[in-house]
């Protein structure tokens, strides 16, 4: 499920990457990726990607809210990455990391529920 993988990457992995990169990864860099996504890889093209590059591998339809979801998730990932970097101590950072993982798991469940209902 391609949308589930996108969600996992953005809702979990991205915040930790932003934390790891530190000040080398700027908000301008983050927004540049958003610009690329808007003009190059909008979710509405996923059916064509699936048909042409991965026939039979992915069968789900991407939800109509995918564009909005992805950009909202990316903005949250930025905020979460900054919060991880600014955590005053290990305990605070671990609590933030747990919240990020919980959010990613909740989004995965929502996607699976949506997929099963469709």
Residue closest to 51 by CA, chosen among 43, 59, 40: 59
Using DSSP's 3-state secondary structure scheme, residue 58 falls into coil
Query: What span, in angstroms and rounded, lies between the C-alpha atoms of 8 and 25?
Result: 20
Whole-prediction pTM value? 0.82
Q: What is the pLDDT of residues 41-98, one digit of tens each?
A: 555 555 565 566 666 655 556 676 777 888 999 999 999 999 999 999 999 999 999 9
Structural domain count, the chain: 1
Q: Residue 93: in which H helix or E strand, if any? A: helix 90-117
The range of the structural domain enclosing residue 102 comes to 2-117
- What confidence tens digit (pLDDT) does each residue in 22-34 have? 999 999 999 998 8
Dig out the tokens for 95 from the structure.
């609590």
């Amino acid at each position: 499920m391609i949308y589930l993988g996108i969600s996992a990457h953005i809702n979990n992995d991205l915040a930790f990457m932003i934390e790891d990169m530190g000040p080398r990864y700027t908000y301008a860099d983050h927004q540049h990726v958003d610009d690329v996504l808007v003009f190059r890889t909008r979710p509405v093209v996923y059916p064509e990607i699936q048909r042409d590059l991965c026939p039979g591998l992915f069968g789900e339809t991407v939800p109509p809210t995918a564009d909005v979801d992805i950009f909202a998730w990316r903005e949250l990932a930025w905020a979460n990455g900054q919060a991880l970097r600014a955590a005053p101590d290990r305990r605070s950072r671990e609590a933030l990391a747990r919240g990020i993982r919980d959010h990613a798991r909740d989004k995965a469940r929502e996607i699976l529920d949506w997929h099963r209902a469709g």
